[in-house]
Amino acid sequence: MLILLTLLFLLPAGLRAESPAARADSLYQASQVHLRGRRMQAAERDLNQALSLDSTHYATRIALSRVHHQFRRFTSAEALLVGTMAMYPRRIEAFFEYAQVRSAMGDRSGAIESLRQVIDLEPKTQAAYTGLAQQLVVPGRQMDLDAAAQALDRALTLDADDHQAMFLRGQVAMYLGDWPGARGLFAELLRQRPDHYATSYQLGHLHYRLAEYAESVRVFTRMAEVNPRSQLAKWNLWLAAQQLGAYPAAVDSSLWIHPVGGPPVSTRSLALREVAASYGVGAVDAGYGSAWLDAEGDGDLDLFALGRFGGTAFYENSSGPAGQRFTDRAPELGLSGLSGIGALTADYDNDGDGDLFITRDGWYGSAPNVLLRNDGADSSGWLRFEDVAEQAGVAGDGSSLSAVWGDLDNDGHLDLIVANGVDGDGSANRVYLADGQGGFLDETKASGIVPGRTVGSTLGDYDNDGDLDLYLANANTLNAFYRNDSNHKAVQFTDVTSETHTQTPLGAHFTFFLDYDNDGRLDLFCSEMSDLTTAVVSRLHGRTQRDRNRPALYWNRGDGSFEDRTYQAGLGQSWGTSGANFGDINGDGYVDIYLANGGVEITRLEPDALLLNLGDGRFADVAPTIDWMQLARGHGVTFADIDGNGSQEIYVPVGGAYPGDIGPNRLLRNDAEGINWLTVRLRGVDSNRDGIGARVRAVVEGRARYAVVASGGGFGSSNSLQIELGLGGATAVDTLEVRWPAGTIDLRTNLAAGSVVELVEGDVP
């Protein structure tokens, strides 16, 4: 026995049995070789074996969590890291990896907390400061740009040559609106790293924002020369050179681009003039939702507008010796401190004055919604608004973005749909049924509506059966179409998405029903959010190069289904649409569409689109033709006849996701001449007082034109609730038919153009 033990001792070390810990370490080392060779499955096999031999092996636990992360097995990575942090509470690698996993799972608050723990444990961990800043700049409830700037300043103190931290610090300066400071940072970074693509792109954009167009041209020219395949470089060069009036003469022909327009269209009937500043509505406040209402009952439309970084405005429409003007009465009304996303109006309590509903807080997380009840003027003559959302039961607890009013059960009281869950918090869409006493009952569970990351919502009677159906536009999931099968006892929706063939687009944002071909059946439009490269390439080819990246225009077949006619209508292009609505801008009786474009990226320069309905089933973008170049990101676009001359104006709230990405809100006044019109103001009796959901049919020179009263849709905003009918050159409406939600049908005949018709439900003329 002694001889045997001696022989075993004399054997080479490699032939003796290894301890479990030593074997685990050997397997870990082997896994690193596999990882360097990108043999992920072999690496994972060795790491799992190593962990079975030594469950406390720190390096193995970290490496295996990274493998799980790479294969998007986030739950497995999380569980492994939680155990590791418990075993080794003073080791920073596990906390750092945990932050990456929580970020990938969409939990930025968890990622931020873990990175701060790394900093507490090892205050000189430079990567933790940079990682923390990356989390803090993402738009949402955790965004804190000042804290991000402080973290990056600390990172650069630890390593002044860290180009990633310097780059991000320049971006934070942009986000905060420090354009000169950002320009200096990126100029220095470009000096250190000449021709760096991303740095050049940021610097060229900064010059553009600072109106240094010659410098912008210089930077983007060099960028395009070094990167000749970059369509973005050439696109931005095109935009900057146009500001100098130097395109294409001052640009080398090898760098030219040729955006493809739509069919040739006469724009003689269009005369749009930007008047926001002179009218007093050009605030710089990161505009979001907007709503037009006659709050005072004086016959003029007033404007309620939400600003993300500048508060709320309530613009009273007034005229004086100097002409039309709007005056912000929000301070006197106590509304200045409000903020929110969507803004829509309706006389929800049927008392004769317009109330307001405000959704909060969308991409920025959950916050109580606001219902401003209009209590009329007090003894001093000022309007009084009171937030009754909590007592009315509609405050909610979700991340609300859009909403839409409608009488779902046709009982004469307006109900409310609120779209929730856009920030991924899992909050359900809400169906609030009016109780007839000024309050609402949450009928979501009984209604059949399922949760989704919903951005846009709209109501319309697509099957002409007398009740309002619901369409929901969801972020990066299939959209949902619900047929209203309610009665006076219960609200019930049936999912008909598959049979209506309306699941797409996948990147859906804003939606509305419209009758674009005047056949008496409601069609459906849904916008899509494309990235800038996809949108630019689409402009250069005249159509999208990726079918999933385009809006959808669904034509109502009349048999309960829709046909996708996006391409036939000339809308098969890619836009990054962040706001959309419709109206009749040239007064020809066919509805047109305005797309407010842009994206989260502060460097995105993408023109808005004004899609003119040609009356033959096609649309054409006439914004370039009329020299309307609105590049800043827009949101709650609305149409309304603000001066009572029968032609509609367009209000475009402007603002991005960051305080630095803002610009003046825009108001396009319609100065078209020679267009006749008829305005119809409805007052419900058995139906809701605003007549929301009423269908209007006007016969003009033997041809029918259709309109619907709606509040919501688009960005969760409200066009004027009065029907503003464009008659073209016709001098009269032969027949006007109104079908009320309660089932009443009213007729009027021989109505002269240029008239305002006050029509009360059931009144005999």
CA-nearest of 469, 433, 475 to 451 is: 475
pLDDT the model gives residue 706: 98
Say if domain 272-673 classifies as CATH 3.40.50.410.
Answer: no
Which two tokens mark 597? Answer: 């474009």
Q: How many CB atoms lie within 10 A of CB 749?
A: 12
Question: Could you report the per-residue pLDDT of 6-36, keeping only the tens digit for each?
Answer: 443 444 444 446 799 899 999 999 999 999 9
CA 313 to chain CA centroid, Å, is 21
CA 512 to CA 533: how far, in whole Å? 26
CA angle, residues 158, 162, 166, in degrees to nearest 5:
100
Locus of tokens 């960051």:
658
Omega before residue 89 within 30° of 0, cis: no
pLDDT the model gives residue 269: 79
pLDDT the model gives residue 322: 65
pLDDT the model gives residue 300: 93
pLDDT the model gives residue 17: 61
Q: What is the number of H-type helices and E-type strands within the chain?
A: 20, 36
Query: What pTM was computed for the model?
Result: 0.93
pLDDT < 50 regions, the chain: 1-16
pLDDT the model gives residue 6: 42
Can you point out the beta strands (E) in 453-560? 454-460, 469-474, 480-484, 493-495, 508-514, 523-528, 552-556
Q: For residue 120, what are the CA distances in angstroms to 58, 129, 134, 142, 728?
A: 20, 11, 18, 20, 70
- Please tell me the CATH code under which domain 21-123 is placed: 1.25.40.10
pLDDT the model gives residue 267: 80
CA angle, residues 726, 730, 732, in degrees to nearest 5:
90
- Whether the CB-CB separation of 682 and 688 falls below 8 Å is answered with no
Which two tokens mark 659? Answer: 């305080």
pLDDT the model gives residue 379: 75
Q: Where are the domains of the chain?
A: 21-123, 272-673, 694-760
Q: Which residues of 7-16 are buried (b: 16+ CB within 10 A; e: fewer)?
A: eeeeeeeeee
